[in-house]
Amino acid sequence: IILENNWEDHKVFFYDKNLQDKFKSSQLNIGEHLPDCTYFITTCENLIANDGSLLVSSNQLAEKKLNEFPNNVIVFATTSQIVPTISEGLREIKSKNPNKLPTNITTIKHFKLQEEKDFLSYGSSTKNLYLLLLEDL
């Protein structure tokens, strides 16, 4: 993805330090400030099957809004993260975090940069999203 988009010399942003550690040997140009970065590498809480959205929270985004992140997002997920509905995804978040629920829970579901604005997508943040789905079942 990085080579295909000619991002080798562009800065990448990681919020998840564990994920960043997995890329230490890849010599990525890691940026410290979001506005300086061309792309963002992250994970997600769940993949929602019935509408194709990604459920994310403060575990991936901290307290930032989606529109503060670069337009290009690479998401790592596993097949065990696929759930049928948003309700099921929220239940999983609650069961994984019984003592302290993450905040800033939202979905990413508009993946095309919009040519025209319409009231159904008002306030949505569109992203160029690359999903790397890893088999773990």
> What does the domain layout of the chain look like in residue ranges?
11-112+121-134
Structure tokens at 129: 């999203």
User: For residues 124 and 137, what is the distance between their CA atoms, to the nearest angstrom?
Assistant: 32
Could you report the per-residue pLDDT of 51-98, keeping only the tens digit for each? Answer: 999 999 999 999 999 899 999 999 999 999 999 999 999 999 999 999
Q: In percent, how much of the chain has pLDDT > 70?
A: 88
Model pTM score = 0.86
Give dist(CA 5, CA 53) in Å, integer: 23
Residue 137 banded pLDDT, cuts 50, 70, 90? confident
- Tokens for 96? 């994984």
Burial of 60 from C-beta contacts in 10 A (0-12 / 13-18 / 19+): buried
> What is the pLDDT at residue 22?
92
CATH of domain 11-112+121-134: 3.40.50.10420
